């Protein structure tokens, strides 16, 4: 197996650079070692980075990959003196944008992930809302929710809600469908006012059995029979109530969130 070191070098957090680094997943036969050098925002720090890159090349016997987001063009040019392969995110995208927009880009480092960028406080509010409305914790304030995820216990509602809040600033409540709801065959009372906000998650019974067994092995709750029973009743209920749902079994929280976002049609301005 091929091994490669990848540096993420940024004058800010390096989070944009690392996001681009997700593309490395398209080379599953290569083993990548990630090295983060955030806040590389001075000549001295770039020099230190150059030393590390050179040392790494020597140790690896092959040149490293550098994914870089530096706003300062002098620092960018200096870093590119390394012998690495440079994936220059700023050079590739911000420079052409500046030309298209006929605007000089702000040279403030790290603006993309600062409290100034991307509706930061809206996202923090959404995270707090989501934590306070996890697992049907309270009905108070549900009217503020942009989406309310429903489904049986442990089908993925909580991490999906948090991802929606953290990444997209969506106020996402979640509410479990518990055995009492399922046997009664109706939605929890608190949800009946918000049919347009409801979105369902389901899961395959074998997977649910395995997830629940990690928490409560050998319980009725985790048994395959009970998982099958709960899921069947939950899907029947959602069907009767006209609630769309998606199967979380082999989908990541990123994929689930993206599908839900399409559904609730949020084309925001940020």
Minimum Å distance from CB 94 to a copy of itself? Answer: 5
Smallest distance, Å, CB 181 to a copy of itself? 23
Using CA atoms in the order 109, 113, 117, 122, what is the torsion angle rounded to 10 degrees?
A: -160
For a copy of itself, give the closer residue by CB, 138 or 262: 262
Nearer of residues 239 and 270 to a copy of itself, judged by Cβ: 270
| E strand segments, the chain | 2-10, 30-37, 65-69, 85-88, 147-151, 172-176, 198-202, 245-247
In angstroms, what is the minimal distance from the CB of 127 to a copy of itself?
Answer: 5
If the CB atoms of residues 2 and 189 are measured against a copy of itself, the closer one turns out to be 2
For a copy of itself, the closer of residues 65 and 233 by Cβ is 65
Residues in CB range of 267: below 8 A, 6 or more apart: none
Least Å distance, CB 91 to a copy of itself, is 10
Pairing of β 147-151 and β 198-202: parallel
SS3 for 247?
A: strand
147 bridge partner residues = 172
């Amino acid at each position: 197996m091929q091994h490669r070191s990848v540096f993420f070098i940024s004058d800010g957090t390096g989070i944009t650079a690392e996001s681009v680094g997700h593309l490395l997943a398209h080379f599953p036969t290569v083993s990548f070692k990630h090295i983060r050098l955030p806040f590389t925002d001075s000549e001295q720090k770039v020099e230190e980075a150059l030393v590390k890159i050179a040392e790494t090349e020597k140790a690896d016997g092959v040149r490293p990959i550098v994914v870089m987001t530096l706003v300062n063009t002098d620092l960018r040019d200096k870093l590119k003196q390394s012998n690495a392969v440079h994936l220059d995110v700023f050079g590739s995208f911000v420079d052409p944008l500046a030309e298209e927009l006929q605007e000089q880009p702000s040279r403030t480092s790290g603006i993309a992930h600062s409290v100034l960028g991307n509706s930061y406080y809206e996202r923090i509010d959404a995270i707090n809302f989501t934590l306070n409305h996890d697992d049907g914790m309270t009905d108070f304030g549900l009217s503020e929710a942009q989406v309310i995820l429903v489904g049986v216990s442990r089908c993925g509602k909580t991490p999906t809600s948090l991802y929606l809040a953290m990444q997209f600033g969506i106020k996402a409540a979640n509410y479990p469908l518990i055995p009492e709801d399922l046997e009664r065959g109706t939605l929890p009372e608190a949800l009946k006012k918000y049919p347009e906000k409801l979105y369902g998650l389901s899961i395959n019974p074998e997977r649910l059995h395995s997830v629940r067994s990690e928490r409560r092995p050998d319980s009725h709750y985790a048994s395959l029979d009970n998982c099958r029973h709960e899921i069947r009743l939950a899907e029947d209920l959602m069907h009767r109530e006209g609630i769309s749902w998606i199967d979380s079994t082999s989908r990541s929280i990123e994929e689930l969130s993206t599908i839900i976002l399409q559904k609730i049609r949020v084309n925001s301005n940020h």
